[in-house]
């Protein structure tokens, strides 16, 4: 490469490099201006914070000045105590706990006791709850889920609790007993009661 060729390349690249450097410097100048403004804002804020701190320090050293007394408040109602608790049993499994004071009654909660209750012979149309026991077809059944179905082999809500046993054999007749006293007619009974 000759000197003239090198000069031509430098002359062609020069404006491109100059433009690139000018834009880069301009971006740096914008960034510097923005940073200078931020620093100025932070310095101003720092001065404001310093002034606020000074004012707070002055207020903290002063003795408090009480304001005028407010109006007297109303007496509140007494809270409920153990003497105000009511426990109600539904006669089966549910127990409800209530707090009562005058006309105000608040239900605190109801819980169910998982007890087995015998309900007698199964009745068609009656709803049975889990834990109920019934007798049907000579066997006793335990209810597993709310149901109105009849206990038996296909009823999933019922579990066989006690299975009916086989009928026993008839017993043999025993020997005859001794003869009893002679009977009385109505006239004899009447006469006897009049003598008393």
Tens digits of residue pLDDT in 11-62: 777 777 777 777 777 777 788 888 888 878 887 877 888 888 888 888 888 8
User: CA-CA distances (angstroms) from residue 84 to 43, 91, 95, 110?
Assistant: 66, 22, 16, 17
| Whole-number Å distance between alpha carbons of 97 and 99 | 7
The DSSP line for 100-164 is: EETTEEEEEEEEE----EEEEE--TT--B-TTEEEEETTEEEEE-S-B-SPPSTT-TTEEEEEPP
Task: Look at residue 46 in the predicted model and tell me its pLDDT.
Answer: 79
Q: Is 141 left (phi over 0), alpha (psi -120 to 50) or beta?
A: beta
* Residues of the chain falling short of pLDDT 70: 1, 6, 10
User: Domain 117-162 class?
Assistant: mainly beta
Q: Does residue 85 contact residue 99 with C-beta atoms inside 8 Å? A: yes
Asked if residue 85 lies in contact with residue 97, where contact means CB atoms within 8 angstroms, the answer is yes
Stated pTM of the model: 0.41
- CA neighbor of 134 nearest in space, from 119, 116, 124, 149: 119
Q: Max alpha carbon distance in the chain (Å)?
A: 173
pLDDT at 1: 66
Asked if residues 158 and 141 have their Cβ atoms less than 8 Å apart, the reply is yes
Q: Where are the domains of the chain?
A: 1-61, 83-112, 117-162
Beta strands in 30-124 (DSSP E): 85-89, 94-101, 104-112, 117-121
pLDDT at position 121? 96
């Amino acid at each position: 490469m000759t000197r003239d060729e090198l000069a031509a390349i430098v002359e062609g690249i020069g404006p491109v490099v100059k433009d690139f450097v000018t834009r880069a410097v301009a971006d740096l100048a914008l960034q510097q201006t923005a940073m200078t403004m931020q620093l100025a804002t932070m310095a101003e804020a720092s001065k404001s914070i310093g002034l606020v701190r000074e004012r707070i320090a002055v207020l903290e050293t002063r003795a408090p000045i009480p304001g005028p007394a407010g109006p007297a408040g109303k007496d509140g109602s007494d809270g409920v105590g153990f003497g105000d608790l009511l426990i109600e049993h539904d006669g089966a499994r549910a127990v409800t706990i209530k707090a009562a004071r005058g006309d105000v009654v608040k239900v605190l909660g109801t819980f169910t006791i998982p007890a087995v209750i015998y309900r007698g012979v199964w009745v068609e149309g009656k709803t049975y709850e889990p834990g109920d026991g019934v007798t049907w077809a000579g066997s006793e059944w335990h209810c597993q889920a709310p149901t109105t179905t009849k206990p038996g082999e296909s009823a999933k809500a019922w579990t066989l609790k006690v299975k009916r046993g086989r009928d026993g054999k008839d017993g043999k007749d025993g020997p005859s007993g001794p003869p009893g006293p002679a009977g009385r007619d109505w006239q004899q009974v009447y006469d006897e009661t009049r003598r008393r």
